[in-house]
Chains A and B, each alone.
Chain A
Amino acid sequence: MAASRKREMRVTRGRLALYHTLLLGAVFVVWHLMTNPLLVSAEFAQNTAFFFGKPLVVLERVWDWFASGKIYEHLLVTLAETLLAFGFGTALGLGVGLWLALSPTASALADPYIKAMNAMPRVILAPIFAVWFGLGILSKVALGITLVFFIVFFNVYQGVREVSPVVLNNARMLGAGAGQLLRTVYVPSAMSWVFSSLHTSVGMAFVGAVVGEYLGAARGVGYLILQAEGAFDINTVFAGIVVLTAFALALDAAVSVLENRLLVWRPAQGETEPL
């Protein structure tokens, strides 16, 4: 019964992938037809091409970037910014989250400031960071950190609060000191919450990097888009968007792999093997 349902799922999943591809193809075909004077009037085609670019030109631009290797330098910069922002933002969020969750006085003191800083639209800090850290990689990392920090911070805070009191008491009865409690109970519990928000925080680090580049940089995919926009080169803008999207999807897949590795201890539903 369950096995047959699983097989059914696998069939539909294969079919779903086919539908996904067909849908994407259809979008490109419609896009192509609307921007070429085959079915529509020349004037209409020209207008849509101005606003949306031409799919074949967009794909050609993407192809050029990879074929000439020109894109790698920019991708690498964006990736470095994303990873640095993610790493430092997570470490900072973990440290501050643990500290505030375990120290009621500090938490009471910091509470209104944390709330205010979280409520603030932090993207607005990008120009300030540009002034402070220049147009290099640092200002983008700083922006990413402010975005990642709060996600991790709130998850760590929650994770510490949600530690089962029985598990905690058990560790204490087994003789855990304060540092050992932190290492064996609080951090693992907090990390499980952090990992469950991994997708969001990596996404946010990426947003920080791209927005930072877009607001002023000399390298990075966001910079490429900004440059093309300045020249009204809509095709290159769309090519940049395509590359960014593919990149984000790849990043997300990598996170999923990492997540499955790190959370083996967590119960998942239906871990049965079909015969």
Chain B
Amino acid sequence: MPNQAGVALALDSITVTFSARGAGGRTYTAVGDTTLKIATGEFVSIVGPTGCGKSTLLNVAAGLLEPSSGSVRVLGAPLAGLNRDAGYMFQADALLPWLSARANVELGLKYRGVAAAEVHERAQQWLGRIGLAAHGERYPHQLSGGMKKRVALAQMLILDPKILLMDEPFSALDIQTRQLMENELLELWSADRKSVVFITHDLEEAIALSDRVVVLSAGPATRPIGEFVIDLPRPRDVNEIRLTPRFVELHTQIWHAMKDEVLKGYAQTQRADAEHA
């Protein structure tokens, strides 16, 4: 048995099959036999084509979705119910629309019964850190898409979770803001080395941020088809690191693997379709 203490999150042979309800009477296997281990303090990015099952996998890791088979272990213990050690930044808008930005950031602490004065102080700190100190009283519909993402980030991080599950957190941002936030995230992460599962469409983003990049196949029955250790030195500046030769080398390597595998996966689905017809 491998050393369990060093593993923050372990997905073991996870399969997720959605029931047929309202899907033309056919079940759909989104994730097929996926095994994935995230070490403590490791930053892992997951990339894969759209609709392949990345969010589904993250929901399983969060304990929001029961896998059809397979097991999840969090910090060595089997997961039952919600993953209390994880913070989850959702792909879709998840802020409570009836609460102001400040109240949204404060929410998790309030749920935990932290004293009001401390809640207020910590929320104020976080609002400052995400550059929204002056906009705390605004409601989500009065914030831009990027501001909402930043509030969601603060809402998650204020609870100081050991594991961060982030589902395409920055994909809605313009490139400058995005790089700013990426650097901010790296800085926060390097301060106390949380374990991060970071989902993205963007291979460059994945390489720039991560210790390891996991490539998923196209659906159905998605599984990891490649793992790449990113041995770029830290601390990194996401903007500068993109220009280094090693980055370009890794990018080319992963890109080729991805293309081959994705084409393979694509051919497979085509064959399956042909057999079905």
Chain A interfacial positions (CB closer than 8 Å to B)? 166-167, 169-177, 180, 184-185, 188-189, 192, 264-267
Q: Are B159 and A175 in contact (CB under 8 A)?
A: yes
Q: Are B108 and A169 in contact (CB under 8 A)?
A: no
- Chain B residues with CB under 8 Å of A177's CB are 111
- Chain A residues with CB under 8 Å of B140's CB are 265
Which chain B residues in 64-118 approach chain A with CB under 8 Å?
A: 64, 82-84, 86-88, 90, 92-100, 107-108, 111-112
B247 at the interface (CB under 8 A from A): no
CB of A206, distance to nearest CB on chain B (Å): 28
Prevailing SS type, chain A contact patch: helix
- Chain A residues with CB under 8 Å of B156's CB are 174
Once bound together, how far apart are the Cα atoms of A47 and B96, in whole Å? 63
Q: Are B93 and A265 in contact (CB under 8 A)?
A: no
- Chain B residues with CB under 8 Å of A171's CB are 96, 107, 111
Most chain A beta carbons < 10 A, residue from B97, B155, B159: B97
- Chain B residues with CB under 8 Å of A176's CB are 111
Q: Are A167 and B94 in contact (CB under 8 A)?
A: yes
B256 at the interface (CB under 8 A from A): no
Assuming the contacts A264-B139, A265-B99, A267-B141, asked whether A174 and B90 have C-beta atoms less than 8 A apart, the reply is no
Prevailing SS type, chain B contact patch: loop
- Chain A residues with CB under 8 Å of B108's CB are 174-175
CB of B93, distance to nearest CB on chain A (Å): 7
Most chain B beta carbons < 10 A, residue from A169, A177, A192, A266: A169
Q: Given A169-B88, A172-B64, A173-B64, list of 7 further CB < 8 A pairs?
A: A170-B96, A171-B107, A173-B83, A175-B84, A176-B111, A189-B98, A265-B140
CB of B60, distance to nearest CB on chain A (Å): 13
A189 to chain B: closest residue by CB: B98
Assuming the contacts A174-B107, A175-B159, asked whether A167 and B96 have C-beta atoms less than 8 A apart, the reply is yes
A180 to chain B: closest residue by CB: B111
- Chain B residues with CB under 8 Å of A170's CB are 88, 90, 94-96, 155
Once bound together, how far apart are the Cα atoms of A171 and B82, in whole Å? 12
16 example contacts (A-B, Cβ-Cβ < 8 A) are as follows: A166-B93, A167-B95, A167-B97, A169-B94, A170-B95, A170-B155, A171-B107, A174-B107, A174-B108, A174-B159, A175-B84, A175-B159, A177-B111, A184-B99, A264-B139, A267-B141
B92 to chain A: closest residue by CB: A166
- Chain B residues with CB under 8 Å of A167's CB are 94-97
Once bound together, how far apart are the Cα atoms of A176 and B87, in whole Å? 13
Once bound together, how far apart are the Cα atoms of A171 and B159, in whole Å? 13
- Chain A residues with CB under 8 Å of B83's CB are 173
Q: Are B107 and A184 in contact (CB under 8 A)?
A: yes
Q: Are A188 and B98 in contact (CB under 8 A)?
A: yes
